[in-house]
């Protein structure tokens, strides 16, 4: 089975031809032939998207320096020079972090990066640098993070505070923390396992990985052994749909560097771990797009491996998904443009097993993005299983609403757009306000005021320092949520349920509020009114406060 991608545009064909450098450089005539057919701005855009500008620039400079127009040639050359500078910067940082981690007695492995570039490309500047991935033991995470913070890095993912419950969930069901240095261009991921799903075949922590050292500036830097690295790349590509040509180049170049014995060892390890489909799909893609070939020995066994695995459903599914993504967006596939369910089902059917698939479901229901948007206390952590699908639905509705908005929607569509364009945290706060208002509107019909206030006064929890620091912002958001729900709700909410709802929302956030009950004489009878104040600030029910005489307060 030899998969084919029909109708490759000339621009992508040129990128593919140059991406084979230095193993199979195209002839000058072939490059000039392609150069006359392409739109060069699109060629540069494709190369940048697929992270192969260093190869494209080096190939054109060596084989056909006059093929690219001057402007695009300068852009490619500048991109290659910038990548070389960043490569040197990464190498210097690796040496420094190697010493820092060694002083703290923290073992680690470099995933991909410069070790892969040295092993597969022979020249580290020929591979797009990207970020730095380090694998450490979960027990060393806190100390390693402290060292990175001392080095000037800031954690970029996950954002926001990690409560003890969120941290336990993140460590159990995610794989890394992401850091970025604000003054340099270095991004770093600190892994405690290779992949997110701990039940993925072939997944491992550092204790389950071997070590192969490579020399860098006199330092012996620990990396993954070649076989482990190759299989890691195969699984990484399958999980991410082979979105980048760079990843397929890694497979093709590393495959060419393997000797027959290393290839047989790699194949046997893949069979032992149950990841032959990922291995076969990677080999087939690198052969199809970049002309890679398996090592020559054992033709009866290993060349037939790809043919055997290509007929299996898992391999076919990986290839089908990769081809579909590759053709999307004019051969510039974007991860954010692919619907979330497509990624979910790609990973879901990559392997069978009930526990493996239940882990994916758990991760979908407790996503860190929802934690960052809605700050629930740890004792309400299970509620994220409800909020996560709602957040996803809101996201899809916002995208659906934006489409008509751009094409001149009717006023109803504009209203829908505004409704679903709220941030998740604001939408959740409005839902909370609506729920509290409805609850107290119903409760006041069946319960006495004394029972309600007694219940609200029981088990009052102390205010949280974080809530007090952000009290002003919290008060503004609660005021907005109450006003928005009352104005747009089809139900009528008088001042009393509004005051009770606002008091309860403030109490849940550890902010001390006071409920006032007052009366004023009208034309023929007394009028009652309630309002909420925090200090001297009126949160709810401030209209006409001076006209009312306070009879009682709560608490």
- Partnered with residue 518 across adjacent β-strands are 529, 550
Give the Cα separation of 176 and 90 in Å (integer). Answer: 19
DSSP string, 387-401: HHHHHHHHHHHHHHH
Higher pLDDT, 5 or 76: 76
> d(Cα 244, Cα 252) in Å, to the nearest integer?
13
Question: What pLDDT score does 109 carry?
Answer: 94
What are the tens digits of pLDDT across the range 8-28?
Answer: 888 999 999 999 877 787 888
The answer to whether residue 171 scores a pLDDT higher than 80 is yes
β-bridge partners, 188: 132, 179
Fold of the domain built from segment(s) 104-337:
Beta Polymerase; domain 2 (3.30.460)
pTM value?
0.71
Is residue 194 within 8 Å of 228, Cβ to Cβ?
Answer: no
DSSP letter for 490, please. Answer: S
User: What is residue 2's predicted lDDT score, i.e. its pLDDT?
Assistant: 37
Q: Which residues contact 185 (CB under 8 A, 6 or more apart)?
A: 86, 89
Q: Hunting for tokens 């209209």 — which residue is that? A: 543
Nearest to 186 by CA among 296, 92, 293: 92
Q: Characterize the bridge pairing of strands 537-540 and 526-534.
A: antiparallel
Quote the pLDDT of residue 6. 53
At 3, is the pLDDT very low, low, confident or very high (cuts 50, 70, 90)?
very low
The candidate with the shortest Cα–Cα distance to 362, out of 173, 164, 200, 191, is 173
Give yes or no for residue 5 having a pLDDT over 50: no
Q: Per-residue pLDDT for 172 more than 60?
A: yes
Say what percent of the chain tops pLDDT 70: 85
pLDDT grade for 133, boundaries at 50, 70 and 90:
very high
Least confident of 203-212, 336-345, 397-406, 427-436: 397-406
**How much is the average pLDDT of 364-368?**
85
Task: Provide mean pLDDT across the span 381-397.
Answer: 78
Whose CA is closest to 508, among 447, 439, 448, 449? Answer: 439
Q: Which two structure tokens, joined as six digits, stand for 104?
A: 């703290």
Q: pLDDT value at position 256?
A: 86
The Cα–Cα gap between 420 and 427 comes to 8
The residue ranges of every structural domain in the chain are 10-68, 104-337, 448-554
pLDDT at 203 over 90: yes
- The per-residue pLDDT of the chain, averaged, comes to 82
Question: Residue 70: CB partners within 8 Å, gap ≥ 6?
Answer: none
Sign of CA dihedral 161, 163, 166, 171: positive
Reduced 3-state DSSP string for 175-232? CEEEEECCCCCCEEEEECCCCCCCCCCCCCCHHHCCCEEEEECCEEEEECCHHHHHHH
3-state secondary structure of 79: helix
pLDDT of 242-288, one tens digit each?
999 999 999 999 988 888 888 888 888 998 998 989 998 999 899 88
Q: What is the pLDDT of residue 421?
A: 54
Q: What is the pLDDT of residues 464-513, one digit of tens each?
A: 433 444 577 788 888 888 887 887 776 778 888 888 888 888 888 888 88
CB atoms within 10 A of CB 70: 8
């Amino acid at each position: 089975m030899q998969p084919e991608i029909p109708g490759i545009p000339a621009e992508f064909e040129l990128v593919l031809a140059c991406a084979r450098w230095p193993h199979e450089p195209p002839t000058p005539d072939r490059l000039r032939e392609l150069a006359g057919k392409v739109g060069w701005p699109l060629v540069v855009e494709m190369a940048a998207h697929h992270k192969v500008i260093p190869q494209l620039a080096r190939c054109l400079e060596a084989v056909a320096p006059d093929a690219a127009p001057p402007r695009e040639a300068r852009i490619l050359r500048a991109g290659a020079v910038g990548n070389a500078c960043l490569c040197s910067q990464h190498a210097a940082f690796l040496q420094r972090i190697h010493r820092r981690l060694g002083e703290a007695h923290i073992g680690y492995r470099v995933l991909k990066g410069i070790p892969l570039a040295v092993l597969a490309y022979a020249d580290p500047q020929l591979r797009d640098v990207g970020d730095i991935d380090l694998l450490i033991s979960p027990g060393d995470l806190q100390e390693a993070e402290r060292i990175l913070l001392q080095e000037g890095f800031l954690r970029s993912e996950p954002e926001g505070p990690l409560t003890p419950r969120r941290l336990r969930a993140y460590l159990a069901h995610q794989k890394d923390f992401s850091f970025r240095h604000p003054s340099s261009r270095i991004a770093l991921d600190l892994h405690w396992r290779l992949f997110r799903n701990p039940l993925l075949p072939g997944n491992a922590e550092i204790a389950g990985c071997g070590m192969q050292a490579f020399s860098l500036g006199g330092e012996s830097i620990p990396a993954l052994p070649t076989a482990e690295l190759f299989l890691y790349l195969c699984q990484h590509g399958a999980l991410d749909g082979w979105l980048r040509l760079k990843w397929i180049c890694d497979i093709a170049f590393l495959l060419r560097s393997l000797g027959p014995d290393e290839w047989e060892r790699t194949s046997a390890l893949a069979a032992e771990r149950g990841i032959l489909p990922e291995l076969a799909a990677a080999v087939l893609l690198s052969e199809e797009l970049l002309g890679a070939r398996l090592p020559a020995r054992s033709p009866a066994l290993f060349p037939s491996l790809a043919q055997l695995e290509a007929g299996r459903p898992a391999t076919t599914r990986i290839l089908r998904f990769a081809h579909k993504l590759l053709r999307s967006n004019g051969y510039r596939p974007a991860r954010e443009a692919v619907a979330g369910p497509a990624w979910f089902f790609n990973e879901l059917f990559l392997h069978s097993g009930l526990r493996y698939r239940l882990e994916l479901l758990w991760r979908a229901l407790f996503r860190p993005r929802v934690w960052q948007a809605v700050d629930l206390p740890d004792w309400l952590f299970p509620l994220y299983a409800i909020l996560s699908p709602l957040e996803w639905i809101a996201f899809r509705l916002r995208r659906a609403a934006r489409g008509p908005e751009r094409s001149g929607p009717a006023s109803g569509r504009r209203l829908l757009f505004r409704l679903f364009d709220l941030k998740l945290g604001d939408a959740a706060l409005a839902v909370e306000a609506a729920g509290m208002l409805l609850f107290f509107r119903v409760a006041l019909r069946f319960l006495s005021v004394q029972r309600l206030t007694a219940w609200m006064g029981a088990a009052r929890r102390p205010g949280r320092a974080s809530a007090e620091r952000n009290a002003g912002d919290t008060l503004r958001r609660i005021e907005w949520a109450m006003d928005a729900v009352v104005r747009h709700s089809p139900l009528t909410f008088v001042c009393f349920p509004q005051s009770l709802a606002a008091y309860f929302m403030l109490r849940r956030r550890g902010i001390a509020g006071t409920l006032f009950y007052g009366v004023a004489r009208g034309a023929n009878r007394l009028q009652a009114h309630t309002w909420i104040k925090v200090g001297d600030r009126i949160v709810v029910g401030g209209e006409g406060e001076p006209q009312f005489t306070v009879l009682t307060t709560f608490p």
